[in-house]
């Protein structure tokens, strides 16, 4: 049985998600709440397998992620959001969520997302532009400096931050980032982050 805790400040949303999950014979909602602070207490009390949470609830859903990743490493974190823009998705993944489902797609995909994150996969709902996987040899084509730029960028560092970290000029950092994008076939930071996740580098 997959035990799910649900945190969302809209009761009607929780009711709809509960109805979807209760149709599955191997899933159960063990607790629900409406804020980030309540979610911390809830997962400590019920120890669910999955926490499905809204990033916009009081207290900020994403504020939960680092603490819960550290204190409950087995807990799978599934982000529910009305936002489908890349910066929101990237920030959620950067903080360590295991899945991101928009509320527009959740009706069809919530159950699939729960199964995927429980299986150890990173799940993005179908209405999001999916990062393209890079071929396995691509990482081997990176120089030592390019690999450092890749990892820093995948963790959310901007070129100026990369330059400071590596002791190089801003221009060189931008050039290395462009080379990394070209070699890995990536188009943006989200895709670099996804590649790093797939390779077990984050």
CA 59 – CA 75 distance, rounded (Å): 20
H/E element holding 105? helix 103-118
| Cβ-based burial of 147 (10 A; exposed 0-12, middle 13-18, buried ≥19) | middle
CATH entry, 2-124, from 1.10.3720.10, 3.40.50.2300, 3.20.20.70, 3.30.70.260: 3.40.50.2300
pLDDT at 53: 94
CATH entry, 136-198, from 3.40.190.10, 3.30.1180.10, 1.20.272.10, 1.10.10.10: 1.10.10.10
Q: Do domains 2-124 and 136-198 have the same CATH topology?
A: no
Between 136 and 194, where is the model more confident? 194
At 138, the pLDDT band (50, 70, 90 cuts) reads low
In this structure, are residues 61 and 32 in contact, taking their beta carbons and an 8 Å threshold? no
pLDDT at 130: 54
Q: Is the dihedral of CA 131, 137, 142, 147 positive or negative?
A: positive
Close Cβ partners of 79 (under 8 Å, ≥ 6 residues apart):
53, 55, 61, 62, 92, 97, 99, 100, 101
Segment 156-185, tens digit of pLDDT: 888 899 999 999 998 888 888 888 887 887
pLDDT of 121 over the 50 cut: yes
In this structure, are residues 8 and 53 in contact, taking their beta carbons and an 8 Å threshold? yes
Average pLDDT over residues 108-131: 83
Ordered by start, the domain boundaries in the chain are 2-124, 136-198
Average pLDDT over residues 97-103: 89
Segment 22-72, tens digit of pLDDT: 889 999 999 999 999 999 999 999 999 999 999 888 888 888 898 898 899
In this structure, are residues 195 and 131 in contact, taking their beta carbons and an 8 Å threshold? yes
In this structure, are residues 122 and 79 in contact, taking their beta carbons and an 8 Å threshold? no
pLDDT of 153 over the 50 cut: yes
In this structure, are residues 81 and 92 in contact, taking their beta carbons and an 8 Å threshold? yes
């Amino acid at each position: 049985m997959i035990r799910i805790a649900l945190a969302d400040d809209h009761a009607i949303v929780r009711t709809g998600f509960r109805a979807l999950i209760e149709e599955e014979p191997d899933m159960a909602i063990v607790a629900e709440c409406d804020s980030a602070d309540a979610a911390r207490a809830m997962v400590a009390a019920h120890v669910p397998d999955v926490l499905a949470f809204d990033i916009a609830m009081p207290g900020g859903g994403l504020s939960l992620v680092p603490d819960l990743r550290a204190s409950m490493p087995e807990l799978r974190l599934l982000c529910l959001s009305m936002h489908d823009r890349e910066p929101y998705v990237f920030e959620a993944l950067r903080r360590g969520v295991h899945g991101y489902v928009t509320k527009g797609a959740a009706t069809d995909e919530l159950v699939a997302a729960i199964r995927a994150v429980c299986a150890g996969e990173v799940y993005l709902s179908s209405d999001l532009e999916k990062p393209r996987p890079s071929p396995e040899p691509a990482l081997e084509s990176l120089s030592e400096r390019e690999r450092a730029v890749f990892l820093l960028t995948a963790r959310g560092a901007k070129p100026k931050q990369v330059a400071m970290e590596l002791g190089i000029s801003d221009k060189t950092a931008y050039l290395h980032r462009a080379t990394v994008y070209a070699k890995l076939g990536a188009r943006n930071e989200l895709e670099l982050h996804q590649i790093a996740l797939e390779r077990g580098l984050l």
